[in-house]
Copies of this chain bind each other. A is one copy, B any other.
């Protein structure tokens, strides 16, 4: 009875379950970074010394795993958005934030890829990270619009998608450079003044 009334205290999470979850997460982080978001799930399970079934129980879909891996990064990006919004002029904040995203995509090779998975695709997997990122960019964009510095006819997220499009393909320093250049172009393109 008391258990039914207080479902959060139901039963402690089994220690082995938690252990495996963490190991999977760490292994996946490395695998995705190395091989992009298409890395083999069976290999991840193998390296984590865990059965494939265990992987699927913890993370029922590839996207669930991707999201878990990048949740941390997403939160950092989100935090950065908040900080920039407070410290910088609207347009600067937006520019800096986009550049930051490019860096993330560069450092975590495969992050661009992952961002695509999170942010795009079929609606029913718009999970928390995706929503967070969406909120972050919407906040920055709205602020810049309110200030009258920019106008934007497309969905804010599409700015990120464009960046991801470039970063996904051209990896390495060249790609990063290209993506950063694109940031300037985009900012200039949505500015109402020069």
Contact = CB atoms under 8 A, between A and B. Distances in A.
Interface of A: 116, 119-121, 152-155, 158, 161-166, 168-170, 177-178, 181-182, 184-190, 194
Nearest to A190: B185
A48 B18 CA distance: 50
Q: Say how many copies of this protein the assembly contains.
A: 2
A166 B165 contact: yes
B155 A178 contact: yes
Interface residues of A, dominant DSSP: helix
Contacts of A190: 185, 188-189
B154 A181 contact: yes
B189 A170 contact: no
A172 to B, nearest CB: 11
Given A185-B186, A188-B189, 8 more contacts: A120-B168, A120-B170, A154-B177, A158-B182, A161-B165, A161-B166, A184-B189, A189-B190
Contact of A165 (B153, B155, B168): B168
Given A188-B190, A189-B188, A181 B158 contact: yes
A152 B116 CA distance: 26
Contact of A162 (B119, B162, B184): B162
25 contacts: A116-B165, A119-B169, A153-B181, A153-B184, A154-B177, A154-B178, A155-B178, A158-B166, A161-B165, A161-B169, A161-B170, A162-B162, A162-B165, A163-B165, A164-B165, A165-B168, A184-B189, A185-B186, A186-B186, A186-B189, A187-B189, A188-B188, A188-B189, A188-B190, A194-B194
